[in-house]
Each structure stands twice: as C-alpha cells, then as structure tokens.
Chain A
Amino acid sequence: MKVKVIVTLKNGVLDPQGKAIQQTLNGMAFNNVSEVRQGKYFDIEINESDESKAKSQVEEMCKKLLANLVIEDYKIL
C-alpha cells in the first residue's frame, strides 16, 4: 500500500525559502499572500497490507529519518 507523509517546519522556525517564495508571489501581484511555509512530501510504497501496521512503521521512519524533530513536524496522511 501507499502511505503519504508531509514534513513541515515547526511553527516559529525560520523558513527563509518560504519567505523568499512569499515575497516573489507578492512581486508577481499576488498581494494577498501573507505567508508561505515550504515543506516536503513523501510517497512511500510499502509491502504491507495491514493499514495500521504500515502507518505505525511509517511513523517510526518519520521519527528516525524523514523528519528532524528539532525543527520539523510530520503528518501521515
């Protein structure tokens, strides 16, 4: 089955790329964009038919590798 994960910077952690994107969008006349936060998206194909087992494995992957919990949060979709 496929498990999808989104990793984002925690609230309050500086995101200079997000800021640069926001400023560029403003410069392109999207004046109502007040903030952009950039993140990462993972599509994980896992050979496991039990959904809860698969998700708990992915949760472990997030904690051990996919996200650095000092600055990032993860969400399993």
Chain B
Amino acid sequence: MKSSVIIFPGSNCDRDMDVALKKFGFDNQMVWHNDVKIPKSDLIVLPGGFSYGDYLRCGSIAGKSRIIKSVIDFANSGGLVLGICNGFQILTETGLLPGILQQNKYLNFICKNVFVKIKNKENKYFKKIKKEVLELHIAHNEGNYFCSNDELKSIEDNNQIAVTYCDHEGNDDEKNNPNGALKNIAGIFNKDKNILGMMPHPERMIDPFLSGEDGSLFFENLIESL
C-alpha cells in the first residue's frame, strides 16, 4: 500500500508519521507542498505541525497551497485523506470537512494523553479496531471544534463524528472535554467517510516502551482495511 505525507513549511509531525506508516507496512513517500502532483497513493496524510506559522488562521494558508488542488481532487475521487491536528485544521479550511478548529476554550496549549471514544466503525479508519476507547496524545492550541447548528445536525444525521474526548470508560461528557470542542468532538469524517480529520496523534502512540500502543491499533487496522 502506498501512502504520501505532505510536508508544509512548519509541519513538525511529518517524520513521525513517516516512521509510523512504514512501521506498519506502508510504502510511504514525502511530498513537498510546492509540488503540483502527488505520486500514486492509496492514502494521503496531512501531518501535524504549524504550517506557515499558523498565520492568519491555522491551516488557512496551507489550504491554498499548490499541492492542495491534487489533495482535493484525490479526496473527491474517493481517495483516503487523513489529517492529524494541523492536518485536520487544513481539511476544514479547504472545505473538505465542515466546521473549524478554534482556539482552546481556556486559552492554553494542551499537551497530554487523552482517551477518545470511537463513534463510528463503518469506515476504513476504525473498522477492525476491537477497542471502543483509545488512549492517544494531543498537543494543540486550536482544537476547539466548532460548527453551526445546521452543520452539526447534518454531521450527526450522517454519522460523521469519528471520535470524541472521553474518560477511560468512554464517558464523553463535558467533564472530559479538554478544549471546549462542540459535543466533545475530537475527529470527524466527510459524508462518504473517506476523509478523516482528528486532533489526537496516533503516530505518537506506536511504541510500548515510549508511549503506548493504541496508535498501533489505528495503523494496523488502516493497512488491513485498504
């Protein structure tokens, strides 16, 4: 399976993602933001970081970069596009995913492990994961998901909520909401479920000695599902 990770100036999780994808069997290639074409891929990843220094709004400049048209074409043709953290912000800025990631409610940069509840397994990203709750890492200043009431209704009606912040037992209530995100949303799909954006970093949880292994479950499922 071939994957491509797009590097923007200011991306800083691109190499972690490269390591993770390769560890679980992807033939991964790195693609520069100023390129026009993406090599043949089964999966495109927009990595975490601070693309273009977060100027204007997080992800807004990357959302207009040269490579993005190819990402949008790939996504619209049904290709799998995964955006992690800043990648999620870029996906909302391109309009591939609804809503926006605002500044965290209490104005703090949050860097810690959290639990997320998988809300929908009828898709390639979570299909064969047996657990209902995953422990993943978050590190962001703008992870407070927001959208209009109409958009939220459409997201819920189409089962587009992918993961929500919760405790280790899967209680996704306000008490377990780290950043003020609407409905504890940590990640969402597009309607067709081929595009996933999420704030937590599965690529940081692939080593039992350093962090944890719930990210491994994510990548193992991904390579099996493709």
Which chain A residues have a beta carbon within 8 Å of chain B's beta carbons?
13-14, 16-17, 20, 64-66, 68, 70-71
Contacts and interface: CB of A to CB of B under 8 A. Distances in A.
Contacts of A65: 56, 60, 64
Given A14-B105, A14-B180, A16-B105, A70 B64 contact: no
- Interface of A: prevailing SS: helix
Given A14-B102, A65-B60, A71 B107 contact: no
B148 interface: yes
A71 B56 contact: no
B147 A70 contact: yes
B146 interface: yes
Contacts of A71: 100, 102, 146
Given A14-B105, A17-B107, A20-B107, A68 B57 contact: yes
B177 interface: no
Contacts of B180: 14
Contact of A16 (B64, B92, B107, B148): B107
B106 A70 contact: no
B106 A16 contact: yes
15 contacts: A14-B102, A14-B144, A14-B146, A16-B105, A17-B103, A17-B107, A64-B64, A65-B60, A68-B57, A68-B100, A70-B92, A70-B98, A70-B100, A70-B146, A71-B100
